[in-house]
Amino acid sequence: MQTVIIGSGNVAYHLAKAFVLNRIPLAQIFGRNENELSKISGELNIPYSTETLQKADLYIICVSDHSVEDVSGTITTKDCLVAHTSGSLPKEILKGDYRKASFYPLQTFSKSKALDYSKIPFFIEAENEEDRKILFEIASKISDNVMESTHEKRKYIHLTAVFACNFVNHLFARAKEISDLQVIPFDYFLPLIDETVQKIHEIDPKSAQTGPAVRNDTRVLQLHEQLLQGESLEIYKTMNLSIKKMYQLP
């Protein structure tokens, strides 16, 4: 099977690397950013182009959500399968006379951070059983955790991921702002962060909650509020209110 990955960003890079490491042939990586494509091509030894999209059996589109529809329209091969990697878009967003699917890896991707691809869940959706099997077989060569999913379910998977990953990382960034202002090395907090994440591998997150809000420690909450201002203060109040509501505290 001839496979082409379209894109040059984080998802495209890691998916291409996962293919190469698991000896899944890639005919080409295609995109607009020649500098990034050249880097990926040099590292993974995959042909690349910014001009000519090679004819293939399978195209995997790894671009930003707002670009998926336009990019999908550039694929003119009719007898092929095209899948996007978006967590929020339906497969019907793909515009072309070909078979449509989604191939969603549930992970946060950065080019500078190595990943164990075997642990990444993949969610597959296709128009027919044959294409589902094709994508399922490819994903199963990469990951130990491959599932079929409808678009409706995938929307909630993506929403959960935003809460569990993007929002949490934003709080890390806010926390680092506070520590930086007080010239406290953020490294001091890494064991705490690691333990917090590790704990929920064994304990339900709701049961693992600690801190002044769940203790309803008004004195500490008021002290912290006095130390904050602006947006950080609003975040602090909102988070503590949410915690209190979850545990039905006054």
Instruction: Quote the CA–CA distance of 34 and 221 in Å, as a whole number.
Output: 52
Q: How far is it, in rounded angstroms, from Cα 213 to Cα 248?
A: 11
- What pLDDT is attached to residue 35? 97
Decide if 151 contacts 159 (C-beta within 8 A).
no
User: What pLDDT digit, counting tens, does each position of 21-34 carry?
Assistant: 999 999 999 999 99
Say how far apart CA 24 and CA 204 lie, in whole Å. Answer: 37
- pLDDT attached to residue 127: 97
How confident is the model at residue 59, as a pLDDT?
Answer: 98
Mean pLDDT, the chain, integer? 97
Q: Which helix (H) or strand (E) holds 21?
A: helix 10-21
The pLDDT tens digits of the residues spanning 178-213 come to 999 999 999 999 999 999 999 999 999 999 999 999
- Say if strands 3-6 and 28-30 run parallel, antiparallel, or are unpaired: parallel
Percent of the chain with pLDDT over 90: 99
Integer Cα distance of 78 and 182 in angstroms:
60
**How large is the average pLDDT for residues 120-145?**
98
Adjacent-strand bridge partners of 19: none
Task: Report DSSP letters for 168-219, one per residue.
Answer: HHHHHHHHHHHHHHTT--GGGGHHHHHHHHHHTTTS-HHHH--STTTTT-HH
- Environment class of 33 (CB within 10 Å of its CB; exposed 0-12, middle 13-18, buried 19+): middle
The model's pLDDT over 156-166, given as tens digits with 9 standing for 90+, comes to 999 999 999 99
Token duo for residue 100: 């449509």
pLDDT at 249: 95
CA angle 217, 218, 224 (to 5 degrees): 95
Complete edge-to-edge strand list for the sheet that includes strand 28-30? 48-49, 28-30, 3-6, 58-61, 81-84, 99-105, 122-126, 146-148
Q: Find the mean pLDDT for residues 91-97.
A: 96
Burial of 121 (0-12, 13-18, 19+ CB in 10 A): middle
pLDDT digits (tens, 9 = 90+) for 37-92: 999 999 999 999 999 999 999 999 999 999 999 999 999 998 999 999 999 999 99
Q: Which two tokens stand for residue 116?
A: 């164990």
pLDDT band at 232 (very low <50, low <70, confident <90, very high): very high
Predicted pLDDT of residue 191: 98
0.75 exceeded by the pTM? yes
Cβ atoms within 10 Å, residue 40: 24
